[in-house]
Amino acid sequence: MKPRNSFWAAFRFAGGGVWHTLRNQRNFRVHVSVAIVVVCIGWIFNLSRVSWALIVLAMALVLGLELVNTGLEALTDLASPGYHRLAGAAKDAAAGAVLVAAAASVVLGLIVYQPQLTHFRQHFMVRWHQNPALVIGLGVCLIISLALLWGFVPARQRGEGGQNQNGDTP
């Protein structure tokens, strides 16, 4: 029998982890939604390669930490189904890592986008005159992707384990 840990199986399992997180974690959907909007605005502003690299790195950091946070929360719930102070501290620290990365990403976004925000209308009109069909397509893709994220991705079932700081289960 062939082992299940082939190179391609690893990608399939990793994709399953991303899909699980997308389905079950509202904050991950929020981060993905913000990333989609940031990419659309970056396209309108015609960002430089360096700016794109910084934006993509920030998005990857936040999304990656959110995935790690989800994994740590699941593992903590498995190991400590009842309330335990250290389990709560571990989950809070993992969530804090996501918060720090998200805050740094907001600051980076302001640094990259601030000089161009005052000219948003001008950038948008330039893109519109260059290729209106592409701008309309971008808007449609944005609306569809956000609708898929918030409307059609199955929501998490209630009753799964977990613990809050005060020991309540969700």
The answer to whether 25 touches 96, Cβ cutoff 8 Å, is no
**Annotation marks residue 66 as catalytic:** yes
Separation CA 91–CA 97 (nearest Å) = 10
Alpha-carbon radius of gyration of the chain? 20
Spatial distance between the Cα atoms of 110 and 11, rounded to a whole number of angstroms: 34
Cβ burial 3-40 (10 Å sphere, 16+ → b, else e): eeeeeeeeeeeeeeeeebbbebbebbbebbebbbebbb
Instruction: Pick the catalytic residue from 66, 67, 98, 101.
Output: 66
User: Which residues are identified as catalytic?
Assistant: 66
